[in-house]
């Protein structure tokens, strides 16, 4: 029985529960005593504040320092949950960023309504405070939101247990490189401002393909993409300098990609079994004009943020 059928026939149990699997052994999970139990190795994973804690202990320890630093930077920069996101009040400290993200997310919603008008099972990877998951659930889609960030202001718990249950959003603490989901459970996988944080983007893309159905699509939004790697390296160097100035610390470069080139990302997706379409990349003439302006203003070319739609190819 697929997720849509389960949603129509069951109100007591979330339809996503049958798709969840043990992060340690991949075994089937069942609801039990305020959490989920794996019968294969008798492991128990708590469900706290409405979030299934499916991040392995060793991986949790590995990510703890980077996650804490990320949360501190986000708080200092004024990012926090709001029920209205991506809309923010006039004068908001990050109004420019949210205006940009709203435009990009609107492009995704247009694609979704045009090419997938029926209810979709959507896995939002790197969901943060679940603002995108909220907007999708409000449109009738069946949404699972995954992240490692549990921050009460900007992470999975910021949504609130009652609000999450009311919207039907399944929230899961999990590593994007090792998704605790069974194969063929999703129609769409969304990576919204997330893929460039991955330690190994190849693993994330492979996991996305594994959980997608035969007709499924992976959509990448708001990851910085360049035509030339030299521009991406300049951005990373500038960020590192800024972090060192503000905090006396900068994350290890090996911990995340930080950016992609359009050629690199396209090849990665194609090698992983996807057919790729790019929406929102400027024409050659517009790109050349923008390059001139950006080089004059910033001394370098800045990132583009196209929407990448990767359609799963049959094996």
Q: What is the pLDDT of residues 239-252, one digit of tens each?
A: 999 999 999 998 87
Angstrom distance (rounded) from CA 22 to CA 35: 12
* In a domain? residue 24: no
What is the per-residue pLDDT for 10? 37
What pTM did the predictor assign? 0.93
- 58 membership: H or E segment, kind and range: helix 57-76
Q: Cα separations (Å) of 121 from 15, 97, 153, 284, 306?
A: 10, 28, 26, 36, 23
Domain count, the chain: 1
Question: Which of the pair, 256 or 84, is modelled with greater confidence?
Answer: 84
Helix (H) or strand (E) holding 233: helix 229-247
Higher pLDDT among residues 96 and 56, named by residue? 96
Task: Please tell me the predicted confidence (pLDDT) of residue 191.
Answer: 98
Given a cut of 50, whether residue 72 has pLDDT beyond it is: yes
The residue behind tokens 């910021």 is 158
| β-strand pairing of 274-279 with 170-173 | unpaired
User: Is the separation of the CB atoms in 163 and 188 below 8 Å?
Assistant: no
Range of the structural domain that residue 108 is part of: 49-312
Q: What is the pLDDT of residues 170-185, one digit of tens each?
A: 999 999 999 999 999 9
> Using CA atoms, how far apart are residues 206 and 178, in angstroms rounded to an integer?
10
What is the reported pLDDT for 15? 84
**Is 96 part of any domain?**
yes
The SS3 of residue 10 is coil
Q: Is 6 within a domain?
A: no
pLDDT of residue 12: 45
> How confident is the model at residue 9, as a pLDDT?
39
Q: How many residues does the chain have?
A: 315
Q: Closest Cα partner for 201 from 279, 261, 161, 281?
A: 261
Examine residue 30 and state whether it is found in any structural domain, yes or no.
no
Which residue is associated with the tokens 């603490």? 173
Query: Cα separation of 230 and 222, whole Å?
Result: 19
The model's confidence at residue 11, banded by pLDDT at 50, 70 and 90, is very low
Torsion of CA 82, 83, 88, 92, to 10 degrees: -20
257-291 core/surface letters (b: 16 or more CB in 10 A; e: else): bbbbbbebbbebbeebbbebebeebeeeeeeeeeb
- Residue 51: per-residue pLDDT: 97
SS3 state at 26: coil
The answer to whether residue 21 sits within a structural domain is: no
CATH number for position 199: 3.40.50.150
Q: Is 140 exposed, middle or buried (0-12, 13-18, 19+ CB in 10 A)?
A: exposed
Report if residue 76 sits inside a domain: yes
Q: Is residue 166 included in any domain, yes or no?
A: yes
Q: Which of 69-78, 259-268, 295-304 has the lowest mean pLDDT?
A: 295-304
Cα–Cα distance, 141 to 175 (Å, whole number)? 23
Q: The tokens 């340690």 sit on which residue?
A: 24
Distance CA 217, CA 308 (A): 10
Contacts of 115 (CB under 8 A, 6+ apart): none
Q: Is residue 3 included in any domain, yes or no?
A: no
* Rounded Cα–Cα distance for residues 266 and 139 (Å): 30
Q: For position 7, what pLDDT does the model report?
A: 41
d(CA 130, CA 133): 5
Inform me whether the pLDDT recorded for 305 exceeds 50: yes
């Amino acid at each position: 029985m697929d997720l849509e059928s389960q949603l129509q026939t069951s109100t007591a149990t979330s339809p996503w529960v049958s798709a969840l699997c043990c992060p340690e052994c991949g075994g089937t999970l069942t609801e039990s005593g305020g959490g989920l139990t794996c019968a294969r190795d008798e492991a128990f994973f708590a469900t706290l504040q409405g979030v299934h804690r499916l991040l392995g202990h060793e991986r949790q320890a590995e990510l703890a320092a980077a996650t804490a630093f990320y949360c501190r930077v986000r708080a200092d920069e004024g990012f926090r949950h709001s029920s209205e996101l991506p809309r923010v009040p006039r004068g908001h400290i990050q109004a420019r960023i949210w205006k940009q993200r709203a435009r990009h997310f609107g492009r995704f919603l247009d694609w979704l309504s045009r090419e997938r008008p029926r209810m979709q099972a959507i896995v939002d990877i790197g969901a943060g405070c679940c603002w995108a998951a909220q907007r999708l659930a409000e449109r009738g889609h069946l949404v699972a939101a995954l992240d490692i960030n549990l921050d009460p202001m900007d992470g999975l718990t910021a949504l609130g247990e009652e609000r999450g249950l009311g919207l039907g959003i399944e929230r899961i603490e999990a590593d994007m490189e090792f998704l605790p989901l069974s194969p063929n459970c999703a129609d769409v996988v969304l990576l919204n401002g997330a893929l460039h944080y991955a330690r190994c983007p190849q693993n994330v893309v492979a996991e996305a393909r594994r959980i997608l159905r035969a007709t499924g699509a992976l959509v990448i939004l708001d990851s910085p993409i360049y035509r030339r790697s030299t521009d991406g390296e300049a951005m990373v160097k500038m960020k590192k300098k800024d972090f060192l100035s503000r905090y006396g610390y900068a994350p290890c470069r090996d911990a995340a990609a930080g950016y992609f080139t359009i050629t690199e990302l396209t090849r990665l997706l194609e090698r992983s079994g996807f057919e790729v379409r790019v929406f929102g990349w400027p024409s050659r003439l517009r790109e050349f004009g923008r390059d001139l302006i950006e080089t004059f203003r910033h001394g370098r070319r800045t990132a583009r943020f196209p929407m990448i739609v990767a359609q799963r190819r049959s094996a």
